[in-house]
């Protein structure tokens, strides 16, 4: 099975990245995590992106806060699907990162999820990897059914 790449701009993004890693682990999707910054280590970020397809990756998730250029820079250097997770920082509540990540000019798409939307990013990456992987596809369906069951149980227990 192809791997998912988790690329964060800083180790301060780790608590958000951890949630994506946990979800991928739960779904049985292999992943590899790295710290590469679009600003502080642009050469390493680009080199990783250029070689990701040859190195067995099937989708990339980029996590960055503030002036969040990482997902766009990685997408520019790879033909793999790139998912961007805007990370909430101490100022502006993550709106800065959301706009930086989501407002990609035409031609270089980044599939942007919610601010700190790590679990959805992991599920979307797993859905991409699941094309041609029926066993993973089944696990994704089970996961969704489990989530629905949790809501139904809460509904049944609602005492209002």
Residues interacting with ligand RP5, by CB under 6 A? 9-10, 12-13, 37, 39, 64-66, 87, 89
Closest approach, Cβ 23 to ligand RP5, in A, equals 19
Q: Considering the complex, state which of residue 97 and residue 123 has its C-beta at the smaller distance from ligand RP5.
A: 97
**Residues 17/25, Cβ–Cβ less than 8 Å:** no
Three-state SS at 113: coil
Radius of gyration of the chain (CA): 16
Nearer to ligand RP5, 44 or 150 (CB): 44
The distance of closest approach from Cβ of residue 79 to ligand RP5 in the complex, given in angstroms and rounded to an integer, is 23
| Edge-to-edge strands, sheet with 31-35 | 31-35, 3-8, 57-65, 82-87, 111-112
The encoded tokens of residue 90 equal 């101490």
Residue 70 three-state SS: helix
For ligand RP5, the closer CB: 58 or 65: 65
Q: Which two tokens stand for residue 10?
A: 């800083």
Q: How far is the CB of 135 from ligand RP5 (least distance, A)?
A: 34
Residue 23 or residue 66: which is nearer to ligand RP5 going by CB? 66
CA–CA distance from 89 to each of 14, 37, 50, 92, 134 (Å)? 12, 16, 28, 7, 38
The least CB distance from residue 9 to ligand RP5, in Å, is 2
- Residue number, 64 or 83, with CB nearest to ligand RP5: 64
User: Could you tell me the smallest distance in angstroms from the CB atom of residue 114 to ligand RP5?
Assistant: 15
The structure tokens listed for 67 are 């002036």
């Amino acid at each position: 099975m192809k791997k998912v790449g988790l690329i964060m701009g800083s180790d301060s993004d780790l608590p958000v990245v951890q949630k994506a890693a946990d979800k991928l682990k739960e779904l049985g999707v292999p992943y590899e995590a790295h710290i590469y910054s679009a600003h502080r280590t642009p050469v390493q970020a680009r080199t990783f992106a250029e070689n990701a397809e040859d190195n067995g990756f099937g989708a990339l998730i980029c996590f960055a806060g503030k002036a969040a250029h990482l997902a766009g820079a990685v997408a520019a250097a790879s033909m793999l699907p790139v998912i961007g997770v805007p990370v909430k920082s101490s100022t502006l509540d993550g709106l800065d990162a959301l706009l930086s990540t989501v407002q990609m000019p035409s031609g270089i798409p980044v599939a942007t999820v919610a601010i700190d939307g790590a679990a959805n990013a992991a599920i979307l990456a797993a859905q991409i990897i699941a094309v041609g992987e029926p066993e993973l596809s089944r696990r994704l369906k089970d996961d969704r059914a489990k989530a629905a069951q949790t809501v139904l149980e809460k509904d049944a227990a609602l005492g209002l």
